[in-house]
């Protein structure tokens, strides 16, 4: 930041210090960098072991292995595979019925049937939509001190889930999120999609609204660069990128597409034309009848609002106050932007009606009563969304900012793409019938142009990354020189072509991957092969890994038989550990955490848990959920004591164990062996071995006397017992069994995907 203040001084004489630059000369190495080359039509390589090739993917994987004289692992057993693919595709373990069905299905297309069933499951969107929400830095609150709730932003989350379930073509998905407002005016889904760039962290209390806008633009530029282009544009904010050919100029050219963006929060159009027609008819009837009443009300209120506006502005900088004081017609496009943000803060100081005095107050109340008499013809309010749109058709100029500081503007730039790919300014066509610049439509077209080699590779790599825990490029947000090199560049291009050729269908890419032998390899370790390829870069085995945060919680709920599959709607607030809320005075002001009264709501899928930036849900955060302050490319994977404390001591987890024990007793009756076997079935999808039966019975034998003692004690020390135990159940055994189930949920076999 200090360099900024130095630059402040330098900025006094920009022409001297920053003469107009000659066009940047890129080196041949930069121009030849693989990522900037067109996506190649990679021929499927020839391999010796042709029998192993189930889909073309296998040929690419096997060719490399054979080249290195390595063997892929054999196919994993059916149960492992079913668990792997079910968690991968839905974030949930397979049900007992699904296991039964697959294990007893010996038809040649048994696996294909499973894959197709999972691709059609609504749980798929909840799983893969969450992956996209990571990329989109999704949150239900503003961040910063106040961290106010964004009450309608969840509609974007539901949009994403639905888009994945509908297999919305990815090019359309991108277009809707970048320029849905311009390209598909009046389309509810497309406008909801514009929530993508509404997830910036926002300091609503900032006195300098020029700076606040500036930071918002930086957020959109950086996220767009990482999410769609796989390039760390953020590095080029202050200087040309040091490793990749991203000029500072390119950073601001990209930013310029967003230069006129503003809060577009408001009602969403009705998607059904008949509903829409009805609504408009009703509304205009109400509007006509109440026009005069409302005009008079507004006239009475105007001075109060004007007064408040002045008062609200006093906490803002002098520069902003001058903008607020200015006549609307005199404001420059940039000032209009700032005024637009300032307006969101005019509403403070409580109900303005209470500020009315004497006759005004009386008359206002009369008018209000009159207005209410027309409520019966007023249509129900439209659903509201939170999204980003352009403020109007004229964008403020964008300058190259030296050192990233808005106080040090250099040359003005026009919207444009990466100079190394295309130096010219982007062609902008203002859209018909929409008060918008048309800039983002141009960006969306470039991001979905099949001849643009960047976005398509980035997306297929993301898909691969989530399936295998590591992308073909291991850094999904950085395809530049500082990122990882592709392990299978030809395969990446093959997938990219396949994706475009198949109508940008994400599900078709899933299918190609899931049906491959590469996906079905066992995770077994082979010491000899590991010597040659310790990182498994060539994919000689399937990489074992812990489930992600949401899958951990959702799998536990599902195994306990408690998971509430209700989809969509505003975020829910499951209980948090004691001691957390009481100290959150500041966030409490902004709505805090209103723990659900209905346990069924607490037991919804994790993707529906309210995402408060300053209070990430503890269990999810401990298991490395996405950082919501920036686009999240991949989840970290840590092993920590707080995770274990949570799984051991959290009363919720214990309650899930109690519920699981109840399932076991209800299913298996009183026979001890059958009980243990059932518990293993429910937790792991398989029965207990003789050795495990013994481990379990030894444990129960030690635990039962302790439980018997606790059961005989006072109410406070009584252990939790499953509800509705079958008659004749020994309560001490049932209580000990809760502990057994608890440990199964906490165990590695439960938490890891093989």
Partner 1 sequence: MLDKLKHHWNVTNRREFFTQAGSGLAAIALAAMLDQDGYAASVDPLAPKKPHVTPRAKSIIWCFMEGAPSHVDLFDPKPALEKYSGQPVPPSYHPETLQSAFGTTHNGLYPTRHKFKQYGESGLWVSDWLPNIAEHMDEIAVLRSCTADGVNHVGAVCQMNTGEILAGRPSMGAWVTYGLGSANQNLPTFVVMQDDKEILGGVQNYSSGFLPATYQGTLFRKGDTPILNLRPPTGMTDAQERNKLEFLQAINDRFGRDKQDDTELDARTRSYELAYRMQSSAPEAVDLSSESEATKKLYGLDDPATSVYGTNLLMARRLVERGVRFVECYSGSGSRWDAHSSLEANHTENCKSADKPVAGLLTDLKARGMLKDTLVVWGGEFGRTPFVQGSPNDEKAGRDHNPWGFTIWMAGGGVKGGQAIGTTDEIGLRAVDEPHHVHDIHASILYLLGLDHLRTTYMHNGRAERPTGTAGALIDKLWA
Residues in region 498-557 near partner 1 by CB under 8 A:
524-525, 527, 530, 534-536, 543-546
Work out how close the CB of 228 gets to partner 1 at its nearest, in angstroms, rounded to a whole number.
15
Work out how close the CB of 597 gets to partner 1 at its nearest, in angstroms, rounded to a whole number.
22
Q: Check binding of 330 to partner 1 (CB under 8 A).
A: no
First-last CA distance in the chain = 47
- CA–CA dist 148, 139 (Å, integer): 11
Work out how close the CB of 483 gets to partner 1 at its nearest, in angstroms, rounded to a whole number.
6
Please name every residue paired with 521 in a beta bridge, in sequence order, or none if there are none: 75
Please name every residue paired with 388 in a beta bridge, in sequence order, or none if there are none: 263
Work out how close the CB of 689 gets to partner 1 at its nearest, in angstroms, rounded to a whole number.
8
Contact 132, 164 (CB under 8 A): yes
- CA–CA dist 635, 469 (Å, integer): 9
Residues in 560-589 at the binding interface with partner 1, rule: CB under 8 A? 577-580, 583-587
Question: How many contiguous H segments (helices) and E segments (strands) does the chain have?
Answer: 32, 8
Q: Check binding of 27 to partner 1 (CB under 8 A).
A: no
Whose Cβ is closer to partner 1: residue 673's or residue 746's? Answer: 746
- CA–CA dist 745, 552 (Å, integer): 9
Q: Check binding of 303 to partner 1 (CB under 8 A).
A: no
Contact 430, 439 (CB under 8 A): no
Among 50, 113, 242, 362, which residue interacts with partner 1 (rule: CB under 8 A)?
242
Among 58, 182, 624, 677, which residue interacts with partner 1 (rule: CB under 8 A)?
624
Work out how close the CB of 317 gets to partner 1 at its nearest, in angstroms, rounded to a whole number.
6
Q: Check binding of 483 to partner 1 (CB under 8 A).
A: yes
Is residue 701 packed enough to be buried (19+ CB in 10 Å), middle (13-18) or exposed (0-12)? exposed
Whose Cβ is closer to partner 1: residue 309's or residue 481's? Answer: 481
Residues in 416-435 at the binding interface with partner 1, rule: CB under 8 A? none
Token pair 């390119």 is at which residue?
Answer: 250
DSSP one-letter code for 408? S
Number of residues that bind partner 1 (CB under 8 A): 109
Short-list 401, 394, 410, CA closest to 334: 394
Residues in 270-299 at the binding interface with partner 1, rule: CB under 8 A? none
Token pair 């299905």 is at which residue?
Answer: 105
Span near partner 1 by CB under 8 A; candidates 18-26, 99-107, 299-307, 714-722: 714-722
- CA–CA dist 372, 379 (Å, integer): 13
DSSP one-letter code for 521? B
Q: Check binding of 10 to partner 1 (CB under 8 A).
A: no
**Whole-number CA gyration radius for the chain:** 30
Short-list 663, 704, 707, 655, CA closest to 683: 663
Residues in 52-111 at the binding interface with partner 1, rule: CB under 8 A? none
Span near partner 1 by CB under 8 A; candidates 239-247, 331-339, 405-413, 424-432: 239-247
Q: How many CB atoms lie within 10 A of CB 362?
A: 11
Angle (deg, nearest 10), helices 549-560 and 731-746: 160
Span near partner 1 by CB under 8 A; candidates 95-103, 268-276, 360-368, 616-624: 616-624
Contact 471, 635 (CB under 8 A): no
Q: Check binding of 215 to partner 1 (CB under 8 A).
A: yes
Work out how close the CB of 65 gets to partner 1 at its nearest, in angstroms, rounded to a whole number.
16
Distances (CA, A) of 413 to 19, 431, 528: 15, 21, 57
Span near partner 1 by CB under 8 A; candidates 415-423, 437-445, 642-650, 659-667: 642-650
Q: Check binding of 202 to partner 1 (CB under 8 A).
A: no
Residues in 142-181 at the binding interface with partner 1, rule: CB under 8 A? 143-145, 147
Q: What is the SS3 assignment for 238?
A: coil
Residues making up the chain, counted from first to last = 754
Whose Cβ is closer to partner 1: residue 298's or residue 535's? Answer: 535
Span near partner 1 by CB under 8 A; candidates 100-108, 422-430, 555-563, 638-646: 638-646
CB proximity list for 130: less than 8 A, separation 6 or greater: 91, 550, 606, 607
Whose Cβ is closer to partner 1: residue 40's or residue 145's? Answer: 145
Whose Cβ is closer to partner 1: residue 436's or residue 643's? Answer: 643
Q: Check binding of 748 to partner 1 (CB under 8 A).
A: yes
Q: Check binding of 717 to partner 1 (CB under 8 A).
A: yes
Q: Check binding of 644 to partner 1 (CB under 8 A).
A: yes
Q: Check binding of 744 to partner 1 (CB under 8 A).
A: yes
Span near partner 1 by CB under 8 A; candidates 99-107, 234-242, 421-429, 663-671: 234-242
Contact 79, 63 (CB under 8 A): no
């Amino acid at each position: 930041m200090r360099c900024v203040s130095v630059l402040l001084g330098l900025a006094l004489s920009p022409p001297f210090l920053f003469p107009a630059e000659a066009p940047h000369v890129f080196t041949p190495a930069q121009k030849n960098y693989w990522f900037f080359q067109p996506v190649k039509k990679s021929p499927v390589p020839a391999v010796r072991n042709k029998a192993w090739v189930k889909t073309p993917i296998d040929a690419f994987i096997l060719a490399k292995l054979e080249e290195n004289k390595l063997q892929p692992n054999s196919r994993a057993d059916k149960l492992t595979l079913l668990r792997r693919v079910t968690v991968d595709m839905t974030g949930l373990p397979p049900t007992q019925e699904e296991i039964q069905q697959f294990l007893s299905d010996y038809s040649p297309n048994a696996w294909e049937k499973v894959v197709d069933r999972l691709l059609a499951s609504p749980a798929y969107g909840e799983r893969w939509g969450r992956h996209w929400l990571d990329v989109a830095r999704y949150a239900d609150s503003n961040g910063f001190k106040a961290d106010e709730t964004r009450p309608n932003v969840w509609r974007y989350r539901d949009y994403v889930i639905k888009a994945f379930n509908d297999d919305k073509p990815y090019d359309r998905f991108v277009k809707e999120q970048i320029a849905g407002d311009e390209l598909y005016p009046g389309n509810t889904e497309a406008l909801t999609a514009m929530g993508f760039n509404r997830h910036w962290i926002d300091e609503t209390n900032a006195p300098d609204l020029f700076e606040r806008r500036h930071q918002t633009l930086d957020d959109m530029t950086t996220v767009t660069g990482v999410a769609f282009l796989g390039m760390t544009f953020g590095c080029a904010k202050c200087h040309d990128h040091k490793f990749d050919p991203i000029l500072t100029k390119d950073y601001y050219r990209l930013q310029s597409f967003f230069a006129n963006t503003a809060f577009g929060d408001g009602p969403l159009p009705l998607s059904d034309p008949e509903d829409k027609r009805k609504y408009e008819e009703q509304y205009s009837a109400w509007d006509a009848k109440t026009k005069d009443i409302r005009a008079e009300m507004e006239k009475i209120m105007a001075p109060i609002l004007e007064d408040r506006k002045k008062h609200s502005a006093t906490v803002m900088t002098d520069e902003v106050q001058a903008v607020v004081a200015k006549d609307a017609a005199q404001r420059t496009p940039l000032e209009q932007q700032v005024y637009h943000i300032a307006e969101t803060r005019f509403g403070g100081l409580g109900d303005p009606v209470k500020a009315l005095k004497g006759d005004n107050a009386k008359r206002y109340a009369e008018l209000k009563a009159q207005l209410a008499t027309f409520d019966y013809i007023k249509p129900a309010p439209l659903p509201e969304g939170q999204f980003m749109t352009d403020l109007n058709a004229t964008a403020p100029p964008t300058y190259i900012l030296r050192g990233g500081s808005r106080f040090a503007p250099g040359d003005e730039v026009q919207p444009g793409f990466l100079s190394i790919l295309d130096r010219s300014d982007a062609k902008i066509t203002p859209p018909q019938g929409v008060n918008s610049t048309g800039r983002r439509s141009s960006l969306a077209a470039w991001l979905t142009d099949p001849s643009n080699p960047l976005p398509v590779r980035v997306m297929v790599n993301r898909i691969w990354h989530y399936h295998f825990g590591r992308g073909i490029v291991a850094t999904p947000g950085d395809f530049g020189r500082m990122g990882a090199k592709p392990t299978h560049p030809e395969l990446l291009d093959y997938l990219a072509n396949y994706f475009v050729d198949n109508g940008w269908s994400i599900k078709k890419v899933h299918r190609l991957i899931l049906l491959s032998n590469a996906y079905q390899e066992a995770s077994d370790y082979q010491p000899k092969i590991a010597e040659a390829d310790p990182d498994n870069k060539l994919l000689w085995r399937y990489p074992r890994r812990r489930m992600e945060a949401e899958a951990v919680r959702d799998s536990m709920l599902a195994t306990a038989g408690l998971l509430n599959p209700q989809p969509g709607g505003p975020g829910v607030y499951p209980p948090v550990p004691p001691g957390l809320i009481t100290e959150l005075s500041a966030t409490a002001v902004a709505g805090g955490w209103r723990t659900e009264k209905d346990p069924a709501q607490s037991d919804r899928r994790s993707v529906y848990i309210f995402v408060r930036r300053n209070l990430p849900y503890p269990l999810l955060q401990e298991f490395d959920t996405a950082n919501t302050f920036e686009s999240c490319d991949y989840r970290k994977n840590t092993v920590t004591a707080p995770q274990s404390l949570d799984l051991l001591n959290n009363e919720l987890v214990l309650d899930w164990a109690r519920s699981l024990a109840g399932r076991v007793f209800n299913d298996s009756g009183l026979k001890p062996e059958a009980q243990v076997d059932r518990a293993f079935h429910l937790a792991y999808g398989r029965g207990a071995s003789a050795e495990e039966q013994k481990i379990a019975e030894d444990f129960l034998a030690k635990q039962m006397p302790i439980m018997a003692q606790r059961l005989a004690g006072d109410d406070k020390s009584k252990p939790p017992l499953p509800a509705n135990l079958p008659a004749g159940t020994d309560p001490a055994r049932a209580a000990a069994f809760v502990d057994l189930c608890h440990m199964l949920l906490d165990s590695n076999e439960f938490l890891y995907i093989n």
